Amino acid sequence: MRQLNSEEFEKELSERVEKIELILQEALPAHITMQKTIRDAMEYSLMAGGKRLRPLLLSETYRLFGGEDMQQIHPFMAALEMIHTYSLVHDDLPAMDNDEYRRGRKTTHIVFGEDMGILAGDALLNYAYETAVKGAAACGQPERGLKALEILSEKAGVYGMVGGQVVDVELTGKPLEEEQLDFIYRLKTGALLEAAFMSGAALAGAGDEELQRMERIGCLVGQAFQIQDDILDIVSTTEELGKPVGSDVRNEKTTYVSLHGMDAAKKAVEEYSQEALELLDSVRGENPFLATLITALIHRKK
């Protein structure tokens, strides 16, 4: 598939991310009285300026399959980013990674207290489904909305992100076998990326075979993404990442890099991404921005 040159890509990327920021801001709960603190904590974490990768992948896959009514997918884009954000808020809690910095600023529980940190995550998760269900009911083709909801809920839950996090938490401090590390990466990080590709396709009316192909692409991108995360934890800086580097070594975590070495890790990122791009070529439709975005993830610095 054709790729954009870096100038075209950067321009389109910043336009799209700007649009996502607006969608997220508008999706936040509006009718607040005494429970204002929770809205503030939701806004603090949701509007902290991440890469917005998951809503981007959802909307670009929707376009790839010929989807045109962008308004219709906004609730799903917002819901997916809310689920991602809740997972980060909970992951940073003292009971899990106990992290004080994320996306260049203090984590939610540091600013709002541990109780509100827990509740902010709970609120974002519930509000994600509230938003997506309303989106599904309002969209012209509710069966497509329902399919997207099924994908989202499955990939975020026991068979997806939560399942991966459970194994990660349980095995923390123990040396991991390759198979265990793969399982954690595939579920903890990969599942939400699979959800982005699959739900975007489902909302555009893709069939089962196409959904399976998008799931595979999401899985490959997820592996590449997580391995790149491991690499950046070693080679990047705190300023660039917005969170402390070297935490994997400090916490004695088994990562792809500690298991296979830096060179193999870099090679794996290239190979998984290449395979994802080849698969992308095999689906109907054309989206040079999406192909360029996947390529850009290999070289990402944060």
165 near ligand FPP, rule: CB under 6 A:
yes
Residues 142 and 69: their CA atoms lie apart, in Å, by 14
Give whichever of 144 and 188 is closer to Mg ion, judged by the CB atom: 188
- CB < 8 Å & 24+ apart, contacts of 247-254: 247/97, 247/99, 251/97, 251/172, 251/173, 252/173, 253/172, 254/175, 254/176, 254/181
Nearest-5° Cα angle at 58, 189 to 10:
95
Give whichever of 91 and 194 is closer to Mg ion, judged by the CB atom: 91
Q: Are 231 and 262 in contact (CB under 8 A)?
A: yes
Q: Are 128 and 82 in contact (CB under 8 A)?
A: yes
59 near ligand FPP, rule: CB under 6 A:
no
Q: Report which secondary-structure segment, H or E, holds 106.
A: strand 105-106
- Candidate list 60, 91, 168, 210; residue touching Mg ion; CB under 5 A: 91
For residue 2, the minimal CB distance to ligand FPP (Å) is: 25
Say whether 102 sits in a helix, a strand or coil.
strand
Residues 212 and 235: their CA atoms lie apart, in Å, by 34
233 near Mg ion, rule: CB under 5 A:
no
* 186 to 225: interface string for ligand FPP, x by CB under 6 A: --xx------------------------------------
106 binds, among ligand FPP, Mg ion, none (CB under 5 to 8 A by kind): none
Residues constituting the chain: 302
Instruction: Say how many C-beta atoms besides its own lie within 10 A of residue 77's C-beta.
Output: 30
For residue 97, the minimal CB distance to Mg ion (Å) is: 4
For residue 131, the minimal CB distance to ligand FPP (Å) is: 18
50 near ligand FPP, rule: CB under 6 A:
yes
* 97 to 126: interface string for ligand FPP, x by CB under 6 A: ------x-----------------------
Nearest residue to ligand FPP on Cβ basis: 50
239, amino acid identity: E
- Candidate list 4, 60, 64, 91; residue touching ligand FPP; CB under 6 A: 91
171 binds, among Mg ion, ligand FPP, none (CB under 5 to 8 A by kind): none
168 near Mg ion, rule: CB under 5 A:
no
Q: Are 184 and 49 in contact (CB under 8 A)?
A: no
Contacts with Mg ion, residue ranges (CB under 5 A): 91, 97
Contacts with ligand FPP, residue ranges (CB under 6 A): 50-51, 53, 87-88, 90-91, 103, 161-162, 165, 188-189, 226, 229
